[in-house]
Amino acid sequence: MLKKFSPLAVFILLLLTVWYLFNYSMPSYSEDADAPETAFSTSRAFELVEKMSTAPHFVGSPAHSRVRNYIVDELQKMGLEVQTQAGYSLNRNGALSYARNILARIPGDGTGKSLVLMSHYDSAGHSSYGASDAASGVATILEGIRAFLATGESHFNDIILLFTDVEEVGLLGAQLFVREHPWAANAGLALNFEARGSGGNSFMLLETNSGNAGLIKEFKGAAPAYPATNSLAYSVYKMLPNDTDLTVLREQGDINGFNFAFIDDHYDYHTANDIPANLDKETLAHQGSYLMPLLNYFKDADLTALDAEEDLIYFSVPPGELITYPFSWIMPMLLLATVLFLLVVGYGIAKKKISPAGILKGAVPYLISVAGGALLVYLLWQFVLFIYPEYREMEHGFTYNGYYYITSAIFIALTLCFLAYNSFGKTNTAANNFVFPLLFWLLLCALMALYLPGAAYFIIPFYFGLVQLWVMIRQKRPNLFLMFLLGLPALIILMPFVVTFTVALGLKIVFVSALITAFLFSLFLPVFLFFKRKKAMALLCFLVFNAAFITAHFKSSFTEDRQKPNSLVYLYNADEQTASWNSYDRLVDDWTKVYFGEDPVIITEAEEFSSKYGSGFTFKTKAPVVELAEPGIIMRREGEDSLSGTHRYSLKIVPNRKVHRMELYAPRELNFEQFRVNRLEADSVYLGANQFHIHSKRWHNRLLTYHVANRDTLSIEFSLDSEKTPEFTLYESSYDLLENSDLGVKPREKYMMPRPFVLNDAVIVKKEIRFEQVD
């Protein structure tokens, strides 16, 4: 009887395992406002988030100083001595602002390195409330430190609380801390709490200039209850241009650290929907579950011993374990796997259970499943974009119904897998059908060992697959429960990436979800090959695909809960005394068609401004000219240097209205010998072995983006080849389009919100600055 129903039992067990794996990696939440004073309370932390996120609090906004004062008050309530570090900061990409960091130090009993707990308190401009990014991080630290101080425990290391400013527009507060604050020199380890969404588990990503072995061993020793991390993400993270405060501490201060960040519900990131109501309390609890054990561990740890020459492979597994082994095992494990594969396949051929022809025959359904599934989902997504062009308005690349499309991708891939093996696999032996998938996986592992070593632990499912192949060679019908257990490592290791990759990089790569699903299916062939009703399984998967796809359709429209992003910018050309309406949108809606008409033509050339995704204006039309105070501009030629053949100049720009941002452009061929902004010079940028500089060895026509904090004067000193004439274009922007009564822009409908990541809802004054007539 057990044998007859074992496929059904195994299938149910598989579903339960998948459910568990999706839910084990983060704590649950229940109301805990009455938790002991010595314990971290998610409810109390959430109250802090609510109080900090009542309005957008980007640098220069009224709420920005209110949030800063609130944090200072909370620290002082704990009896801590608080200081504010203030000053200008200019990064290598030309971002400038006046940052105000908040710091406090809890002295330890020893003389070792300091432990830094950090997050940033500014929100993204100009419409984000910053609840997740990063009031959640600030609240986690405030609540965690309150609980820690309530215990009265002694500690060896100093604990520094660092709440940085101006993170969102260039990591400028972190740079100010590293370069100018005396405490930075003694920092040994930093824990940074961040967000790129509003939910999901918090993922650990470490930062170090050395090998990771020391950090990983200590992280494992701290024993957080719900670790979510792996060395594949670490390898990919090192290859990408990173943009957290912790990156600045590592690069400029050689300070090791851990990032803790969550990315689910990515559609809320940097938008007007980053509000407390959208922050998952389970996610906030997860942040607390990292902070408290790590704080208690590292408060007494030797923070001078974290550097290491060795790198470790690592990945988290349920229930809360971290598996590690050294990089030096990668090649031996690969070579051993290759030898064992040849021996097992050779044994199967000798026993006439495997044949070269059968192996090639087994490649057909595998390639249909893997390549066909990925291609099918890629084409399906292009079809979706054709049917729903409004999805392109989501600057993130992840729609509100994105999880339904990921589900659709998974189940259409499974449908194809079951159909392929039902049609092309049933005339072949199970062992023959499994050899080519194992060989392909081995080749993938070899490539990863060479080019992406952090993913080398993907070889582990291969070893279990070899055992499955051995059993299938020796037994005509192996025990499916045993095959299921041997397949679990593949499920544990690969399943998190089915969803995470697409959430992190956008629905444009949703085919990767299908690809990983097909890989997982192939590693579970020793189970699925013995399912007699593969057509029924394919039908079931197809029904789930349709259910998810249809649900996505019914959730495709924009509502008050799923707001449509749109944009409108007023640009006044002070030299020509003309004005225009501009937008980044691809489609007009009821709000923007008032300015651009029902069917506007997409423009090919327009002004450009720095933004996360490089978005430019798409629509432009004539606008009425209204009175705007132009900036005051003072130009001087200060002298010349006959030896270097250069002239020295000074330029001062004084805002005469409430301004939030200034951008300065110059022809790219103008490479300045010297360029100082508010007495600061930018560092060089290195792309591989190639050195560039935003001012002297330029790759772009933008020179500077100044995020104005206090209507301060922008002072520039520069020198230029005497045969060249300085010329600049200034764009001076304020985020008050809807408040300008002369322009009369009506508020958005409730189902709309400002488009994030771009200069939006802005009144811009454009001004040419030429030095031809300057003596």
- pLDDT (average), residues 543-547: 98
Q: How confident is the model at residue 4 (pLDDT cuts 50, 70, 90)?
A: low
What is the extent of the structural domain holding 152?
A: 25-317
Q: Whole-angstrom distance between the N-terminal and C-terminal Cα of the chain?
A: 100
> Per-residue DSSP letters for 114-171?
EEEEEEE-PPPTTT---IIIIIHHHHHHHHHHHHHHHHT---SS-EEEEEESS-TTTS
Q: Which amino acid is at 197?
A: G
pTM: 0.95
Structure tokens at 305: 């011993």
Whether residue 356 sits in one domain with residue 258: no
Q: Are residues 482 and 612 in the same domain?
A: no
Distance CA 42, CA 285 (A): 5
The answer to whether residue 19 sits within a structural domain is no
Residues 616 and 729 in one domain: yes
pLDDT in tens, 707-759: 999 888 999 999 999 889 999 999 999 999 999 999 999 999 999 999 999 99
- pLDDT at position 312, please? 97
- Mean pLDDT confidence for 286-312: 97
Give how many domains the chain has, as a whole number: 3
How large a percentage of the chain has pLDDT more than 70?
98
Same domain, 107 and 241: yes
What pLDDT is recorded for position 774? 58
Tell me, letter by letter, the H, E, C secondary structure of 227-253: CCCEHHHHHHHHHCCCCCHHHHHHHHH
State pLDDT tens for residues 339-370: 999 999 999 999 999 999 999 999 999 999 99
46 phi, psi to nearest 5 deg: -65, -35
- Give residue 584's Cα distance to chain centre: 23
- Joined together, the tokens standing for residue 172 give 């400028």
Q: Which pLDDT score, from 0 to 100, does residue 303 have?
A: 97
701 shares a domain with 612: yes
Classify each residue of 370-400 as buried b or exposed e, where b means 16 or more C-beta atoms within 10 Å of its C-beta.
bebbbebbbebbeebeeeeebbebbbbbbbb
String of b and e for 708-742 (b: at least 16 CB within 10 Å)? Answer: bbeeeebebbbbbeeeeebebbbbbbbbbbeeeee
pLDDT confidence tier of residue 2, bands split at 50, 70 and 90: very low
The domain that holds 254 is classified in CATH as: 3.40.630.10
pLDDT band at 773 (very low <50, low <70, confident <90, very high): low
182 or 22, which is more confident: 182
Angle at 58 between CA 57 and CA 64, to 5 degrees: 45
Q: Output the CA torsion 509→512→513→519 (10° steps).
A: 180
For residues 139 and 48, give the distance between their C-alpha atoms in angstroms, rounded to a whole number: 6
Q: 12 lies in a domain?
A: no
Residues 564 and 480 in one domain: no
Give the whole-number percent of the chain exceeding pLDDT 90: 88
Q: Can you tell me the distance from the alpha carbon of 257 to that of 233, in angstroms, rounded to the nearest whole number?
A: 15
Q: What mean pLDDT do residues 238-251 have? A: 85
Give 191 or 426, the one with higher predicted confidence: 191
Residue 5 lies in a domain: no
Instruction: Please tell me whether residues 666 and 545 are part of one structural domain.
Output: no
650 SS3 class: strand
Q: Residue 68: inside a domain, yes or no?
A: yes
Matching residue, tokens 């589900």: 407
Angle of helix 42-52 relative to helix 62-77, nearest 10 degrees? 150
Quick one: pLDDT at residue 1?
A: 45
What's the rounded mean pLDDT across residues 694-698? 93
Q: Is residue 20 part of a domain?
A: no
Query: Phi and psi at residue 543, in whole multiples of 5°?
Result: -65, -40
Which tens digit of pLDDT belongs to each residue from 60-104? 999 999 999 999 999 999 999 999 999 999 999 999 999 999 999
Per-residue pLDDT for 140 more than 80? yes
Q: Among residues 502, 517, 550, which one ends one of the domains? A: 550
The predicted model gives 411-427 an average pLDDT of 93
Tokens of 370: 């893997």
Query: Given 317, 350, 365, which residue is the final one in a domain?
Result: 317
Whether residue 324 is contained in a domain is answered as: no
- Which one-letter amino acid corresponds to residue 14? L
Token output for 241 = 């241009």
For residue 750, give the 3-state DSSP assignment: coil
pLDDT at 425 over 90: no
Cα 119 to Cα 115: distance, rounded to the nearest angstrom: 14
The residue among 317, 341, 361 that closes a domain is 317
Q: What value does the mean pLDDT take over residues 37-50?
A: 98
Structure tokens at 293: 């054990």
Same domain, 291 and 337: no
| Cα–Cα distance, 312 to 739 (Å, whole number) | 55
CA R_g for the chain: 29
Residues 6+ apart with CB under 8 A from 639: 647, 648
Bond into 134 cis (ω within 30): yes
Instruction: Band the pLDDT of 602: cuts 50, 70, 90.
Output: confident
In this structure, the number of other CB atoms found within 10 A of the CB of residue 71 comes to 23
CA-to-CA distance for 67 and 236, rounded, in angstroms? 35
Do 509 and 628 fall into the same domain? no
pLDDT at 241: 64
**Dist. CA 140–CA 148, nearest whole Å:** 12
Q: What are the CA-CA distances from residue 468 to residues 335, 387, 478, 517 (Å)?
A: 19, 44, 9, 19
In our burial notation (b when 16+ CB lie closer than 10 A, e otherwise), range 491-519 reads bbbbbbbbbbbbbbebbebbbbbbbbbbb
Q: How far apart, in whole angstroms, are the C-alpha atoms of residue 289 and residue 361?
A: 50
pLDDT tens for each residue of 447-486: 999 999 999 999 999 999 999 999 999 998 899 999 999 9
Question: Which of 664, 631, 658, 633 is CA-nearest to residue 730?
Answer: 664
| Local confidence band at 237 (pLDDT 50, 70, 90 cut-offs) | confident
Q: Do 498 and 444 have their domain in common?
A: yes
Pick the residue with more confidence: 430 or 117?
A: 117
- Dihedral Cα 146, 151, 155, 158, nearest 10 deg: 10
Higher pLDDT, 615 or 661: 661
Do 697 and 705 contact (CB within 8 A), yes or no?
Answer: no
Q: Parallel, antiparallel, or unpaired: how do β-strands 685-687 and 690-692 relate? A: antiparallel
Residues 305 and 342 reside in one and the same domain: no
Three-state secondary structure of 268-310: HCCCCCCCHHHCCHHHHHHHHHHHHHHHHHHCCCCCCCCCECC
Q: Count Cα atoms within 13 angstroms, Cβ side, for 381.
A: 28
Give the torsion sign (CA, 347, 348, 350, 355). negative
**Cross-strand bridge partners of residue 633:** 653
pLDDT for 606-645, tens place per residue? Answer: 777 777 667 889 999 999 999 999 999 999 998 988 777 8
Average pLDDT, the chain: 94
Answer yes or no: is 40 within a domain.
Answer: yes
> Strands 321-326, 564-566: parallel, antiparallel or unpaired by DSSP?
unpaired
**How many whole angstroms separate alpha carbon 205 and alpha carbon 292?**
17
Model confidence over 361-399: pLDDT tens digits?
Answer: 999 999 999 999 999 999 999 999 999 999 999 998 999
Contact assessment for residue 368 and residue 437, using Cβ atoms and an 8 Å cutoff: no
Torsion of CA 603, 605, 609, 614, to 10 degrees: 70
For the record, the structure tokens of 576 come out as 């020509």
Please state the three-class secondary structure of 58-106 as a single string: CCCCHHHHHHHHHHHHHHHHCCCCEEEEEEEEECCCCEEEEEEEEEEEE
Whether 10 is covered by a domain: the verdict is no
Closest of 379, 402, 410, 396 to residue 555, by C-alpha? 402
Give the list of residues 6+ apart from residue 381 with CB closer than 8 angstroms, or none.
Answer: 405, 507, 508, 510, 511
- In this structure, the answer to whether residues 392 and 521 fall within a common structural domain is yes
Tokens of 412: 């259409």
